[in-house]
A and B are shown apart, each in its own frame.
With several copies, the nearest count.
Chain A
C-alpha cells in the first residue's frame, strides 16, 4: 500500500502513522521534517514541479518497496509557505521487522532530499529571502544506499 500526497495544508502525522499501524505489521517507523529556525529564518517556502512530483515520490516509494519487505509506505509532502515549527514532510513505513521499517524510512528521506522536484526558499525576519542550496551531506547520504 503506497500513498503519496502533496498539498499545501498541514497534515495530521499521528493519524497517518496510525493508519499504517492498523495494517497489522509489527513495526512502524516514521520521520517528520519541520521548519527549523536556522539563524533568522521565520518561514520556509516550498515550490515544486507538480506533474513530476507525484511520479518522483512514487518511484522512490516503489524502489523502497522492492528493497525491503514492507506492508505500507506513506509520503506526505507539503508545498507553499510554512512558518517556524510547521511540518513539511512525513515518511512512514511499516514492516514485520523493525530494521526494514527504520532503514526504508531513512532511505526514502535520503532519496527524497536529492531526487524529488522540491525547492526550498528561506524567508528571513528582515524580509529577505534566499533559495536553499544543495547540501553535500544530502548527496553523501544518498550515496550510502
Chain B
C-alpha cells in the first residue's frame, strides 16, 4: 500500500524549489531518504539542481536529525534543508 509522506523544505532549498512543503505518495518499495532524493531528482530539473550536491544537505525524519541513508519506514514527515546556522 502506498504511503503519503509530508516533505518540508527550508532556507535555500525551499527558495530554489519554490515551495515549503508537499505531500508525496511513496512507492511501497522505497526504502531510504537517498532513494527518495533520487526519485525526486528524476521528476523535475529543480529537484535535480537542488539535490546535485548532497554534501550540502541535511535531513530530519519526524523532527529528528538523521542521515541520508536512514530508512523512511513509517515516518510521517521528512525535512530537507542546508546545515543549520542558528544562534
Instruction: For A109, list chain B residues within 8 Å (CB).
Output: 87
CB of B51 closer than 8 Å to a CB of A: no
Contact B11 A47 (CB under 8 A): yes
Residue on B nearest A119 in the bound complex, by CB = B11
Contact A49 B8 (CB under 8 A): yes
How distant is A127 from chain B, measured CB to nearest CB, in Å? 16
Interface size for B (C-beta < 8 A) is 17
How distant is B44 from chain A, measured CB to nearest CB, in Å? 22
CB of A22 closer than 8 Å to a CB of B: no
Q: Which of B60, B65, B77, B87 contacts A118 (CB 8 A)?
A: B87
Q: Measured between alpha carbons, how far is A112 from B87 in the docked complex, in Å?
A: 6
Instruction: For A115, list chain B residues within 8 Å (CB).
Output: 65, 84
For this complex, into which size category does the number of interface residues on chain A fall? 20 to 34
Interface string of B50-87 (1 = CB under 8 A from A): 00000000001001010000000000010101111111
Contact B84 A52 (CB under 8 A): no
Residue on B nearest A108 in the bound complex, by CB = B87
Contact B85 A134 (CB under 8 A): yes
Contact B86 A116 (CB under 8 A): yes
Residue on B nearest A121 in the bound complex, by CB = B11
Question: Given A119-B11, A131-B12, A49–B81 Cβ distance below 8 Å?
Answer: yes
Q: List residues of chain B with CB under 8 Å of any chain A CB.
A: 8, 10-12, 14, 60, 63, 65, 77, 79, 81-87
Interchain Cβ contacts under 8 Å between A and B, 30 examples: A33-B87, A47-B10, A49-B60, A49-B79, A49-B81, A52-B60, A52-B79, A56-B63, A77-B86, A77-B87, A89-B87, A109-B87, A112-B87, A113-B84, A115-B84, A116-B84, A117-B60, A117-B79, A117-B84, A118-B84, A118-B85, A119-B10, A119-B86, A120-B85, A120-B86, A131-B12, A131-B82, A131-B85, A134-B82, A134-B85
